[in-house]
Structure 1
Amino acid sequence: MLVRFAYLAVTNTFAALRLLPMSGRERDAEILALRHQVGILRRQLGGKRVRFERADRAFLAARLGRLPHRTLRQLQLIMSPDTVLRWHRDLLNERHAARSRPKRPGRPRTVASIRRLVLRLARENGTWG
C-alpha cells in the first residue's frame, strides 16, 4: 500500500510539473478534455460503483479532503463529495490510531515501589495469597 501511494505521489508530481510550461489556454483545453472523459465514464458506468484501491482512496482523500464541501460539489468527480470526505476522515482516524497505539504491547510494568511492597507483604505473611 505504501509503495503504491508513493508511486501515485511521484507520478502526480511529474504530471503537475508537466503543467507548468503550459499556457492557460492549453491547460483549460486539457481540463475540459478530462471533464468530458469523466462524463463518458459516468454514462458508461450507469448506477454501478467504481472500486478504488486503498492507495487511490488515500491519495484522493489527501488531495481533495481539505477542500470545502461546496467546492467539492462543483468538481466533476466519479465519486460523490461525501465519499471523498469519508475517505479523508478514515485517513485521519487511521493516522490518529497509529500514533496513539502503545509503543510496547502487553500490560504496563508495575511501579517498583509497589512491587517491593507486595513482595514484602508476601514474605511477612506466610499464609497470605
Structure 2
Amino acid sequence: MHSTTRSNAIIERWIRTCRTELLDRTLILNQAHLLHALREYEDFYNQHRPHRALHAAAPQRSLPPPITKPHALEHLDIRRQDRLGGILHEYHHAA
C-alpha cells in the first residue's frame, strides 16, 4: 500500500469518526464554534478516546498498568468528565 493511499485511509476514518461522534450530534452555530468543537474533539480523540487497533489505548496516551490483584477491582473510583456539553465523555481514576 502506498503511503498516500494509507494516509487517505487514515484521514477518511478520522473524518467519518468525527462526523458520527461529534458533528452529527452538534448544532454548529458559526465558524468559531466549529473550530472550537473540532479542537476539543481532536484532543479527546488523541488523548482519551480508546482505539481498538491500539488495544483500547489512545494514540497519545498509553494504557494504565493491568490490575493484577482481583480484589483491587472493588476499590476502583472512576469519575466521568463531560466535554462539549456532554457529547464527549472522559473517564479517569479518582486520585
TM-score range, shorter chain: 0.3 to 0.5
TM-score, reference length from structure 1: 0.27
CA radius of gyration, larger in: 1
TM-score, reference length from structure 2: 0.34
Greater helix fraction, Structure 1 or Structure 2: 1
Choose between structure 1 and 2 for higher RCO, CA contacts under 8 A separated by at least 6 residues: 1
